[in-house]
Amino acid sequence: MARLGLKVAATNGVRTLKARTPARTVPVLVPMRDEDQQKDHFITRNGLTYAGSHLIIDLWDAERLGDRDHIEQTLIDAVNAAGATLLHIHLHTFTEGGGVSGVAVLSESHISVHTWPERGYAAFDVFMCGDAEPRKALDVFKAAFNPGRIVIGEHKRGVL
């Protein structure tokens, strides 16, 4: 059982299996072979192959965060600026002038949004694979919401 990462524990004659803490993994660069070069939209840049970039974007002291129509148009503009393909947008407004949550579903993945107009805060996730350029959505968000401060994190998804 130890080879499977499980420990056997016995209590009152009843045996149970408990999972061990998983080992930490570290991404390793694996060169792709020609036969692996299928149309899966993985990206290879600077010797690293991965599914795509996932940007976590926080806008602070931002404007127009309760305006559903403005947010929808901003998502469309961000998709176009990034060179992505829009499949569907779904947005929900919680109360009149309240927060908006939703997602733009893309062929290349998604952009999600959650806003708190009363705090001037918006949280965007921008995940795109293939030839799309998610960082190009940033200028669209800046122009649309005029934030006083932006915090950005980036994670490479699906590193081979």
CATH of 34-157 among 3.30.1330.20, 1.10.3720.10, 3.40.190.10, 3.60.90.10: 3.60.90.10
pLDDT tens digit sequence for 115-149: 999 999 999 999 999 999 999 999 999 999 999 99
The per-residue pLDDT for range 21-43, each reduced to its tens digit, is 554 555 555 565 555 555 678 98
Both structure tokens of 61: 């002291």
Domain boundaries, the chain: 34-157
- Residue 81: name the closest of 127, 140, 131 by CA: 140
Contacts of the segment 6-12: beta carbons below 8 A, 24+ positions apart: none
Q: Would you please indicate which residues are annotated as catalytic (active-site) residues?
A: 109, 114, 129
Q: What is the pTM of this model?
A: 0.75
